[in-house]
Amino acid sequence: IRRDPQELLDGLNPQQSEAVQYQGQALLIGAGAGSGKTRVLTRRIAWALSQWRAWPSQILAITFTNKAAREMKDRLETLIGPVAQRMWVSTFHSACVRILRRDGEAVGLTRGFTIYDQADSQRLMRTVEQQYGIDPKRVKPRDVLTAISDCKNELKDWRSQLKEFAPDFRPGQPGARLGHLEAGEQLYACLYAEYQRRLQAANAVDFDDLIMRTVQLLRLDPQVAAYYHHKFRYIFVDEYQDTNHAQYVLIRELAGLDADDGERPAAVTVVGDSDQSIYAFRGADIHNILDFEKDFPEAKTIMLEQNYRSTQTILDAANAVISKNQGRRPKKLWTDAGKGSPIVGYAADNDYEEAQWVVQEIVRLTVEDGFTYGDVAIMYRANAQSRRFEEALINAGVPYQLIGGTRFYERKEVKDAIAYLQCIANPADDTNMRRILNVPKRGLGERAEGTVAAYAESAGLTFWDALGRLQEIPGMTTRLARPLQAFRDLMEELIADAQAKDSNPSEIVAAVLDKTGIVEELRKSPDEQDQGRVENLAQLQSVAAEYEQNTPDSTLAGFLENVALVADSDQLPDEGENNGSVTLMTLHTSKGLEYPVVFLVGLEEGTFPHQRAMENVSELAEERRLAYVGITRARKRLYVTRAGERSQWGRSESKTPSEFLEDIPDALIDWKRKETAVDRRMMLGDDDSDEFGGFGGFAGFDDSDGYSTFGSRGGSRSSYGSGSRGGSGSYGSRGGSSYGSSSYGSR
């Protein structure tokens, strides 16, 4: 690939230009928000290809989301041509899937392995707990899985955990009981071991396994390790501040930094901003970026400080908030874009009025100031805060899209259909096989499942294999055997069918919807919501068809992989197709994005910073970084709002302003309303919040159960989209017919 070097340096400032060209073994681009990190990283890859004559196959580039990977590929394509689409530009998880599909046998994974998501894992953990006589209400599967996830992020495998905390336990012992153990290290170690045993038997992995198993593979098999050391000569990582220990080790292993196979380690470029590290709760370790110079020999750091995204006023606010954090490398963002408009502040009496004001202001921005709805994002600390804004937007007839509500792929009917597909691709997947045994209802209840499962367990067979030997199962009656045999026949037919047309996932989906009767069952249902579910399933087929169109050698396994790796932020429309609707999202999801107008809402103590984080210094520092991320998403206008009272758990609580709000110099904020009724009451020394409880007739909506009380979920919601895209597409993550096929295009 040949390119004029000047073309690749065009429009870059001197530091950016140096970062693109620096030739050395290890480079950290430690840049502040909006300073062009992602842009520089992309140019640097193009530079390596064209100026250092790297082969596209020698490059590994890691991004934080699939959406970011797609964008990077597209930008690379304009710089270097279509070869970009075939390069390894992906998330950590996707890269590991690719490695494990090719070489996973060395760690006991055959090619068609299944990837379990959160819900699958919880299902499996519940089964494991029941097997050992543990009450899932007492020991929550979710808590056990969090503990296991923490272990995996630290690369602690089940063997070492057993050795340390439960040396006498062996997984897979029939009849063993653990119900007497308290929740804690010992019990978790046992459950971890059994959980892994069952994953292995099902030829399945969970999300965290993808990373840990790849590291194990590289450490275990010198030939495989040598292959990747040899292959990847240049490794690039975006958002490095949010890598965890396992990912850090993975980079080292892939680069061959600790190998002695005579190969020079790959050159590693990482990009990040320690002030934007916001994923500690998922195991991210800020020390990875802070210690980069110690960890990587001959490392060089280049700082970028000029910001190209925001106005100086917005940056001053961001600097003021983040500078309160201890122990950070001081850096100051600046721009030559000028001061811009002041930040606008609003203190509402309660959360209802806060939402009313925000929506009214959004409408005003479009009518008077020339912004479009697509220019605007509302960002909040917790998902539950979205409901008020949704209500207000709906009442005002303003189209919106919600990022990260109940996700399409987490809906029951969609999961059921996907479970069928998983079983077709991998019949050894016990969890999914058992999930669909009685979906749709075919008279195979717990007893039928239990009988087969017990036999499978004792004979060391998969559930699927046991179904093939019904006559050998003790206690099998003809009444049970008949529907079980029918199920096995159905699955055999689907599997044979799928093998005949493997390059055609949409036809396989169609066959599943048709032959299993799941659609038929829903169609017959008198429940209105079930009709919306039928539409969701129809949508799944469109998703498969789009995948097919966008993927040259499409397969069922490939399709399932895409489905499994979809992250929250992937529900965002791709750049350039923002469709005139207001975006609602959590601050965590906003990382790496930018909007002309940003509303940061709920700036109160206990809301943001979050209640849980307030007593803990390091968690509070993380909340502060989250505030910094939020502020720096804004390009032209920033709004900060708060409520004097907020309904939580069904009652109204008084709220004081967030300390982050107080950190922003008053001179930067134009307060449209500064004091709330609660503030005035407090000043009078009367803090009885009860008399102000229950505002505006919204008592029926109770925060504590989130969205479930929020009546009409399904298709009716899409009618609010008629302003922009005729009710389809823009309401991605919501109900009924509204699922946005556009956003699932190219995976």
Asked if 17 is part of the footprint of ligand ATP (rule: CB under 6 A), the reply reads no
In the complex, the smallest distance separating the C-beta of residue 567 from ligand ATP, rounded to whole angstroms, is 16
Q: Facing residues of 643 across strands?
A: 348
Burial status of residue 685 (CB atoms within 10 A of its CB: 0-12, 13-18, 19 or more): exposed
Kindly state whether residue 588 participates in binding ligand ATP, applying the rule CB under 6 A. Answer: no
In whole angstroms, the minimum distance from the beta carbon of 578 to ligand ATP comes to 14
Set 58, 241, 243, 276: catalytic member: 276
311 catalytic residue (yes or no) = no
Residue 633 annotated among the catalytic residues of the structure: yes
Minimum CB distance to ligand ATP, residue 251 (Å): 19
Residue appearing with tokens 């390059």:
503
Distance of CA 682 to CAs 47, 635, 676, 678, 696, Å? Answer: 61, 36, 10, 6, 22
Residues 269 to 298 in contact with ligand ATP, rule: CB under 6 A: 273, 276
Geometric angle at alpha carbon 585, from 580 and 587, rounded to 5°: 135
**Residue tagged 């270097």 (tokens):** 80
Determine phi and psi for 60, rounding to 5 degrees: -125, 120
165 vs 308, which CB is nearer to ligand ATP?
Answer: 308
Q: What, of ligand ATP, Mg ion, none, does residue 422 touch, CB below 5 to 8 Å by kind?
A: none
111 is catalytic: no
Tokens (6 digits) for 379: 């960002």
Instruction: Please state, in angstroms and as integers, the Cα–Cα distance from residue 56 to each residue in 88, 239, 328, following that order.
Output: 8, 22, 37
- Which of the following is catalytic: 238, 354, 413, 623? 238
**C-alpha span between 454 and 461 (Å, rounded):** 10
CA proximity to 377, closest of 397, 396, 362: 362
In the set 308, 671, 692, 701, which binds ligand ATP (CB under 6 A)? Answer: 308
What's the min distance (Å) between Cβ of 267 and ligand ATP? 20
Of the candidate spans 29-37, 138-146, 332-340, 708-716, the one that interacts with Mg ion by CB under 5 A turns out to be: 29-37
CB neighbours of residue 706 within 10 Å: 14
Q: Pick the catalytic residue: 411, 625, 633, 637?
A: 633
Taking the least distance from each CB to ligand ATP, the nearer of 632 and 641 is 632
- The residue from 592, 602, 644, 729 that contacts ligand ATP (CB under 6 A) is 592
CB of 372 to ligand ATP, least distance (A): 17
Residue 334 binds ligand ATP (CB under 6 A) = no
With binding defined as CB under 6 A, does residue 657 bind ligand ATP? Answer: no
> What is the closest distance, in whole angstroms, from the C-beta atom of residue 90 to ligand ATP in the complex?
18
Rank residues 49 and 68 by Cβ distance to Mg ion and give the closer one. Answer: 68
- For ligand ATP, the closer CB: 464 or 595: 595
- Binding segment (CB under 6 A) for ligand ATP, from list 29-37, 98-106, 201-209, 535-543: 29-37
With residue 376 as reference, give the H or E element that holds it.
strand 376-380
- For residue 423 the two structure tokens come to 């079983």
Tokens standing for 129? 């707990």
Q: Rounded to the nearest whole angstrom, what is the least distance from the CB of residue 29 to Mg ion in the complex?
A: 10
Separation between Cα atoms, residue 209 and residue 93, nearest integer Å: 9
38 flagged as catalytic: yes
DSSP 8-state class, residue 124: H
Per rule CB under 5 A, count of chain residues that contact Mg ion:
3
- Angle separating helix axes 222-231 and 92-103, nearest 10 degrees: 130
DSSP 20-48: HH--SSEEEEEE-TTSSHHHHHHHHHHHH
Closest CA to 563 of 115, 74, 103, 85: 115
Residues 81-100 touching Mg ion, rule: CB under 5 A, are: none
Query: According to the binding rule CB under 5 A, does residue 38 interact with Mg ion?
Result: yes
Q: Select from Mg ion, ligand ATP, none the partner in contact with residue 16, using the beta carbon and a kind-dependent cut-off of 5 to 8 Å.
A: ligand ATP
The answer to whether residue 34 forms part of the interface with Mg ion (CB under 5 A) is no
Tell me: does residue 233 bind ligand ATP (CB under 6 A).
no
N residues, the chain = 747
269: three-class secondary structure by DSSP: strand
Write out the binding residues: 31-38
Report the partner that residue 445 touches, choosing among Mg ion, ligand ATP, none (CB closer than 5 to 8 A by kind). none
Identify the bridge partners of residue 61 per DSSP, sorted by sequence position: 89, 236
Binding residue for ligand ATP (CB under 6 A) from 13, 25, 51, 372?
Answer: 13
**Is residue 358 within the footprint of ligand ATP (CB under 6 A)?**
no
Residue 242 makes contact with ligand ATP by CB under 6 A = no
Q: Check if 164 is active-site.
A: no
Binding site for ATP, by residue number, is: 31-38
Contact 277, 269 (CB under 8 A): no
* Residues of span 36-75 touching ligand ATP by CB under 6 A: 36-39
Residues near 583 by beta carbon (within 8 Å), at least 6 away in sequence: 374, 376, 377, 378, 400, 401, 403, 572, 595
Compute the least distance from the CB of residue 373 to ligand ATP, in Å.
20
37 catalytic, yes or no?
yes
Distance between CA 293 and CA 354 in Å, rounded? 46
Q: H/E element holding 451?
A: helix 446-459
User: Is the CB of 592 or the CB of 609 nearer to ligand ATP?
Assistant: 592
36 in contact with Mg ion (CB under 5 A) = no
Cα(506)–Cα(564) distance, rounded to whole angstroms? 17
Q: Among residues 596 and 693, whose Cβ is nearest to ligand ATP? A: 596
Size of residue set near ligand ATP by CB under 6 A: 18
Piece of the chain touching ligand ATP by CB under 6 A; list 34-42, 122-130, 526-534, 546-554: 34-42
Nearest one of 587, 589, 583, 594 to 660, comparing CA atoms: 587
Q: Is 11 in the site for ligand ATP (CB under 6 A)?
A: yes
Listing DSSP states for 155-203 in one string gives T--HHHHHHHH-TT--TT-TT---TTSPSSHHHHHHHHHHHHHHHHHTT
Question: By the criterion CB under 6 A, which residues form the site for ligand ATP?
Answer: 11-13, 16, 31, 33-39, 273, 276, 308-309, 592, 594
Task: Give the residue numbers marked as catalytic.
Answer: 37-38, 238-239, 276, 633
Question: By the criterion CB under 5 A, which residues form the site for Mg ion?
Answer: 37-38, 592
